[in-house]
Amino acid sequence: MSGLIAPVARLIDEFSRLPGVGRKTAQRLAYHVLRAPGDEARSLAAALVAVKEEVDYCSVCCNITDRGVDPCAICADPRRDPGRICVVEEPLDVLAIERTAEFRGRYHVLHGAISPLDGIGPDRIRAAELVARVTSGDVSEVILATNPNLEGEATAMYLADLLAPHVANVTRIARGLPVGGDLEYADDVTLIRSLQGRRQVERS
């Protein structure tokens, strides 16, 4: 980038790779770091490294967990119902549902949603791991809590067809959530109503 010294240009480039961060926002973040005290910048750098070196994925539900802690705290909790699995797109969605204290089963995190326009097919999400869980355990209900947008609906329908031969009860969270919205931004009351009003998935 013309007029910028290499370290600043590199930092702007790295920030602009983050989802939802445009070039101008990346520039503001880079100059904030530049003006910040050295300790603050080092803390940010250490936190970024720690996320990659100290965080792992649960071998059961695919949610994030501390490295060396497997299964995660939710999967290891004997008070949780192993027969009910709530399927979400991202780890942040688990936090959103947990805030409601309404669901006492376990989770499965897909780490994405089917989106052909973005080149994300069924092989790019943790669908195979979900089927393996359902076929190997005594699962009575799978709740599809993918986001209520086109990608989330497509993912829910794909999973419903995939799971139908293996589990008797495949439900979808109710439309208490706004279409096009994300679970992580939903308020607790809306999430509670969505969980309470879940319905059987209609298959063609």
pLDDT at 16 over 80: yes
- What is the tens place of the pLDDT at every residue in 21-44? 999 999 999 999 999 999 999 999
Q: 147 is written with which tokens?
A: 């986001």
Instruction: Name the residue range of residue 85's domain.
Output: 57-200
**Cβ atoms < 10 Å from Cβ of 193:** 16
Note the pLDDT of residue 2: 56
Residue 30 in contact with residue 15, Cβ under 8 Å?
yes
Assess whether 39 and 136 both reside in one domain. Answer: no
Give 66's DSSP letter: E
> Residues 102, 18: one domain?
no
For residue 139, what is the DSSP state?
Answer: -
Say if residue 28 is in the same domain as residue 122. no
Q: What is the pLDDT of residues 98-143, one digit of tens each?
A: 999 999 999 999 999 999 888 899 999 999 999 999 998 789 999 9
Q: Which residues pair with 171 in a beta bridge?
A: 143, 200
% of the chain with per-residue pLDDT over 90: 75
- DSSP strands (E only) in 3-153: 55-57, 64-66, 81-88, 105-109, 141-144
> Quick one: pLDDT at residue 49?
96
Number of folded domains that form the chain = 2
CATH of the domain at 21: 1.10.8.420
pLDDT for residue 175 is more than 80? no
How do 81-88 and 141-144 pair as beta strands? Answer: parallel
* Residue 1, in any domain of the structure: no
Question: What order do you get walking across the sheet with 169-172 strand by strand?
Answer: 105-109, 81-88, 141-144, 169-172, 199-200
**One domain, residues 67 and 143:** yes
pLDDT digits (tens, 9 = 90+) for 56-79: 999 999 999 999 999 999 999 999
Q: Model-level pTM?
A: 0.80
Q: What is the CATH number of the domain that holds 121?
A: 3.40.1360.10
pLDDT of residue 55: 95
Same domain, 45 and 139: no
Task: Specify the pLDDT at position 204.
Answer: 65
On whether both 106 and 47 belong to a single domain, the answer is no
